[in-house]
Amino acid sequence: MSKKSHTVVSHYLVLIILSAITLFPVLWVILSSFKPQSELFRVPLTIIPKTWTLENYANSLKAGNFVTYFSNTVFVSVTSTAITVLINLMAGYALAKYIFRGRNLIFSTMIATLMIPLQVIMIPIFLQLKNFGLLNSLWGIIIPPAATPTGVFLARQYLVNLPDSLIEAARIDGAREHTIFFRLILPMSKPIIATIAIFSFMWRWNDYLWPLIVISNNKKQTLQQALANFVGQLQINWSNLLAMTTIAIIPVIIVFLAFQRFFFSGITAGSVKG
C-alpha cells in the first residue's frame, strides 16, 4: 500500500471513530426508547432492542399533559418564527434601503443589544412581563424575543445588495412603499428568509430559559420545560423520558436534513444564533 492511500485510510478511520462517538448518545436514546421497560436496564444491556415496542410512546402521550406541551411548543415555534422573519426583514429593509437621520445609530444600538442576553436581565424581564400581563401567556414567550439583532444584521446584509433601481422603477410605476416591500422585496428575499426562519425555529423549539421565566402554569409549559421537570423528579421513569426526548429531537433533525445548506451558510454569514 502506498504512503498516500495509507494516510487516506487512517484519515477515514479517525473520522469514523469520532463519528461513532458523536452519534452514539443520540442513537442510544432513540433505540432505548423502543425497548420495553423490563429490557431497559436488564443485564446484559442490548444496543438494538430485543423486543421493539411503542408502549413508551403510548404511555407518554397518555400521561399528564404531553400533548398540550407538544402543541404549545409547535404554536410558539411557528408563530415566533413568522413574526421574527417579518419584523426583522422590515427592519433590515429600512436600514438597507432608506437614507434617514439616525440610521447608523439605530443599527448599532440594535447590534449592541447582543451584549445583554436574557441571562443577565432575567429579573427585570420577569417584572416587565408582569407589568404587561404577559406572565403565564404563550405570547410572553413569543413576542419579547422576536426581534433579534442577528436577524436584523443578516436581513440588512442581504438586502443592501439588491439593486436600488428595482425599487426606483417600482416607485415610478406608482407603487406605494409597503406594496414594494411585500410584493417586490419579500419574494426576492427567499434565501435569507429561509436562513432566518430555520435558525429561529430551531432556537424556539429548543429554548428553555424564556419559557422557564414566563410560564409557571402547568398547562402553558413547553416540551423542554416538561422534559426538565421530568428529569428533576426523584424517581425518573426513564422509558417514558427517553420516548419524550426522542419526540423532542426528531423534528429538529428533520428540519436539518431538509435544509442542510441553509444551516452551514447561515452560520458562516451570521456566526451567531437567532
Span 49-68, contacts to other proteins by CB under 8 A: none
Distances in Å between the alpha carbon of 40 and those of 27, 48, 58? 14, 11, 16
Q: Residues 232-263, buried b or exposed e (16+ Cβ, 10 A)?
A: eeeeebbbbbbbbbbbbbebeeebeeebeebe
Q: How far is the CB of 172 from other proteins (least distance, A)?
A: 11
The C-alpha cell that represents 54 in the structure block: 411503542
Listed ranges 54-62, 63-71, 189-197, 251-259: which one lies at the site for other proteins (CB under 8 A): 251-259
Angle at which helices 238-258 and 3-32 cross, to 10°: 130
Query: Which of 6, 168, 191, 217 is in the footprint of other proteins by CB under 8 A?
Result: 168
Q: In the complex, what is the shortest distance from the CB of residue 59 to other proteins, in angstroms, rounded to a whole number?
A: 17
Q: Which one of the spans 56-64, 74-82, 89-97, 189-197 is the region binding other proteins (CB under 8 A)?
A: 89-97
Stretch that binds other proteins, among 41-49, 54-62, 63-71, 186-194 (CB under 8 A): 41-49
Helices 149-160/103-112 angle, 10° precision: 140
Give me the least distance between CB of 51 and other proteins, in Å please. Answer: 19
Using CB under 8 A, pick the residue from 28, 62, 217, 219 that binds other proteins.
28
- Residues in contact with other proteins, shown as a per-residue x/- string from 91 to 130 under the rule CB under 8 A: x-xxxxxxxx--x--x--xxx-xxxxx-xxxxxxxxxx--
Per the structure block, which three cell numbers stand in for 35?
425497548
CA distance linking residue 198 with residue 204, whole number of Å: 10
241: contact with other proteins by CB under 8 A: yes
Residues 176-215 that bind other proteins (CB under 8 A): 176-178, 181, 202, 205-209
250 belongs to the binding site for other proteins (CB under 8 A):
no
Site mask for other proteins (CB under 8 A), range 137-166, x = bound: ------xxxxx----x-------x---x--
- Cis bond before residue 44 (omega within 30° of 0): yes
Take residue 92 and report the three cell numbers written for it: 433590515
Return d(Cα 153, Cα 168) in angstroms, integer.
24
